[in-house]
Amino acid sequence: MVEVVNNEEKLMANKKIFVGLPCYNEEKNIGKLLDSWLDLADDLLQRGYELVLRPVDDKSSDKTKDILEAYANKYSNIKPIYHKENKNLGGGLNSIINTFLANCQRGDLLAVMDGDYTHLPIFSLSMIDKLAYSYDIVIASRYRKGSEIHGLSKFREMMSIGARIYYSLVLGIKGVRDYTCGYRIYTYEILEEGKNKYKENLVQNTSFACMMELLYKLYKSGAKIAEVPFVLKYDNKEGESKMNVGKTSKDSIVSAIKLRLGK
Ligand SMILES: Nc1nc2c(ncn2[C@@H]2O[C@H](COP(=O)(O)OP(=O)(O)O)[C@@H](O)[C@H]2O)c(=O)[nH]1
Ligand SMILES: [Mg+2]
């Protein structure tokens, strides 16, 4: 009897892992990604975290919204956010952060990753384990021993390497090699700290440069940041990349300098 009670207690999570998934035209990918998070729910519970999935549909023109509605009807822990107009990735990230801060509390975690099924949920386990060493943010990094990249074009790989070199020179964040990968876990406490410092300006970039901006502003808010290796499964992706290469590059170069200069 005592055994059973202990087991139940172990499985009772009093903390949440809130998973924010930015989605724009991800009809071919989002179902597989949600299924794979649902498969991980027990492992997360073993670590003390109840899984809450918050995909954000950014006014997709395909069937993404219908798919999210069907999942939400079936699973009580999937609670999509629907934008009435397209707000780009920065808008999606803002919705995720604001919803997380409003609905969660200290001790809870926010995981954010692409909705294109190239970032696998399983890596969140090693990320959570790493956070336990008093980190505020853990990044799933393409540039650590054991990391692998599958299916990314040589051009995109070179772009990412260029971004890594440029950001390291301009921003030089301790512990960070991968500034652009969207797969990260943040503590509630560091996002609260960042929000207190920057208010509604925590994420101002609407383009893909928003990921780098958030990281730098949280670093300036005192974040201790670590990375773990992960396997980027770009070969899982169905459909085109939504990254506008020209705009992202221009925005990234200019915003990094402005951030560094404190503007
Ligand atoms: N909220 C929002 N998310 C977007 C938009 N465009 C792309 N995304 C999401 O941003 C993430 C990164 O885009 P993705 O196509 O995967 O870029 P890539 O992995 O760099 O090729 C994915 O989860 C997309 O669904 C947008 O306009 N709004
Ligand atoms: Mg992607």
pLDDT over threshold 60, residue 3: no
- CA distance linking residue 91 with residue 229, whole number of Å: 28
Check pocket membership of 88 for ligand 1, CB cut-off 6 A: yes
Per-residue pLDDT tens digits for 59-112:
999 999 999 999 999 999 999 999 999 999 999 999 999 999 999 999 999 999
Q: Which residue has the tokens 């990260």?
A: 184
Residues 6+ apart with CB under 8 A from 81: 54, 55, 56, 57, 95, 96, 99
- 118 CA from centroid of ligand 2 (Å): 6
SS in 3 state form for 56-108? Answer: EECCCCCCHHHHHHHHHHHCCCECCEECCCCCHHHHHHHHHHHHHHHHCCCCC
Which residue has a Cα nearest atom 21 of ligand 1? 241
Sign of the dihedral through C-alpha 204, 163, 226, 237: positive
From the list 53, 42, 133, the residue with the least C-alpha distance to 100 is: 53
Per-residue pLDDT tens digits for 162-210:
999 999 999 999 999 999 999 999 999 999 999 999 999 999 999 999 9
Residues, the chain: 263
- CA distance linking residue 141 with residue 175, whole number of Å: 11
Check pocket membership of 27 for ligand 1, CB cut-off 6 A: no
Counting residues of the chain whose pLDDT is more than 90, the rounded percentage is 90
pLDDT over threshold 80, residue 263: no
Check pocket membership of 90 for ligand 1, CB cut-off 6 A: no
From the list 51, 185, 49, 39, the residue with the least C-alpha distance to 111 is: 185
Check pocket membership of 236 for ligand 1, CB cut-off 6 A: no
What is this structure's pTM?
0.94
